[in-house]
Amino acid sequence: MTAQHAQWGSRLTFILAATGSAVGLGNIWKFPYMVGESGGAGFVLVYLVCIALIGMPVLVAEWLLGRRGGRNPIDTMAKLARERGRSRAWALLGVSGVLVGAVILSFYSVIGGWSLYYTGQAAGAQFAGADAEGVSEIFDRMLASPGTLLVVHTLFMAASVAIVARGLKGGIEMAVRLLMPTLAVLILVLLIYAMFTGHFGAALHYMFALDLDSLTGGTVLAAMGQAFFTLSVGAGIMMAYGSYLGQETDLLSTARTVIAFDTVFALAAGLIIFPIVFANGLETSEGPGLIFVTLPLAFAEMSGGTVIGVLFFVLLSFAALTSSISLLEPAVEFLDERSRLGRVGATVLSGALIWVLGIAALLSFNLWSAPLPVVDLTVFDLLDVMTSQYMLPLNGFFAVLFVGWVLDREQVRRELGLEGVRATLWSLAARVIAPLGVGAVFVAGLT
Ligand code: TRP
């Protein structure tokens, strides 16, 4: 075990790292296509409600647990359970978190690879003058080639490993400082472009004009899964990040900041993508390829589109990297603290295992595209659905339950700096609303 546990350089770096983890492909790639697959505003509403009522308490709970425990998620849970005289089985929550993070990274890296590929395409001016058909062709060609996907998946994984191996300060902090603000500026540029496509109103309507008919149990479950995915909760990641946190950081206000950034990025991505979808007569239900067949059209059309296109995909790749390094961190922290591998060895070993699983995921788009028996999903979809819709909410459920019901209530209130009504509200959220909310969504989704 490392003698001295590392700490974030400052509150700002912690906010940047947590935001870097939260904002990623989940916001820009996944959110728009999930909205499109589930028919628009109903999904968006449930998503926002889940973020506020479930995501926020779970996020705060994970940070609090991590900071209390001060170690990797597994030992943190074991230690806290012991302190409160509870079963050691709580350590399983940490185990599950570490595993889920690794599984998510396996398919996340495949999409990170797509971003890298598109950076290359944009740089080669491949989108210039392309129409909807040409752009789809580029996408299909990429998917059809296992070799191409393998190369870019490997590159993305290697970059993640290289950053995480360097440790907290040199790696993660450095990467988020510069990149996140630049990405925000570029999203703003694209948003302004989207406003002038003539279909911005339709996109607003699509995303926000509530039509309850589009809401099914499955949509509700998917929306909750997305809320967990986008906030990076339910996988031990925020617990691991919390373990590097000093006592002085105010968890509630930090959570509000991170959630605000995350939500703005997701909604902005939707408001950028859908006007392009409508303007070009594309399908909203395109699926995981949505941003890859819409944005290039915008880049093809706008002046300076090649430069903006390259910049955009570079930044998307970086946003994905600041998330992927967080997905790798809990497994690495655990192996590093519990073995003699050392930080570098631990990172390389975890990275290699995850890379192999990622290969199974990328083959889902070509050689192995037949759905698996029983579950009727491809490996890629199975990894995604299993983690986002089931394991993340389940882990989050137990994390917030532990903070709400197992930890000492007074101590938690003091730690969050809460008194009076706000303290009651917090208890209500952590003990009742968030756990029941997860339960209710499960019931709704499975019936
Ligand atoms: N939240 C990130 C995104 O939206 C992905 C991610 C990073 C994540 N860490 C996570 C998802 C932990 C679930 C759990 O792209």
- DSSP notation for 205-274: HHHHS--GGG--HHHHHHHHHHHHHHHT-SSSHHHHHHTT--TTS-HHHHHHHHHHHHHHHHHHHHHHHH
Q: How far is the CA of 169 from the centre of ligand 1 (A)?
A: 20
The two structure tokens encoding residue 372: 């698996």
Quick: pLDDT tens for 320-347: 998 999 999 889 988 998 899 999 999 9
Quick: pLDDT tens for 261-279: 999 999 999 999 999 999 9
Checking phi first, is residue 33 left (phi over 0); if not, alpha (psi -120 to 50) or beta? alpha
Q: How far is the CA of 140 from the centre of ligand 1 (A)?
A: 26
CATH of the domain at 211: 1.20.1730
Domain that holds residue 181: 3-446
The mean pLDDT of the chain is 92
DSSP code, position 371: P
With 60 as the cut, is the pLDDT of residue 150 above it? yes
Whole-number Å distance between alpha carbons of 101 and 74: 13
With 70 as the cut, is the pLDDT of residue 168 above it? no
What pTM was computed for the model? 0.94
With 50 as the cut, is the pLDDT of residue 3 above it? no
Whole-number Å distance between alpha carbons of 238 and 21: 9
Output the pLDDT for position 211. 80
Q: How far is the CA of 232 from the centre of ligand 1 (A)?
A: 4
Ligand 1 contact via 276 beta carbon (within 6 Å): no
- Tell me how far CA of residue 26 lies from CA of 31, 96, 108, 430, 437, in angstroms: 6, 21, 9, 25, 22
Q: How far is the CA of 45 from the centre of ligand 1 (A)?
A: 20
Output the pLDDT for position 169. 65
Pocket test for ligand 1, best of 224, 232, 322 (most atoms within 8 A of CB): 232
The two structure tokens encoding residue 213: 């008919």
With 50 as the cut, is the pLDDT of residue 201 above it? yes
Number of domains in the chain: 1
Ligand 1 contact via 24 beta carbon (within 6 Å): yes
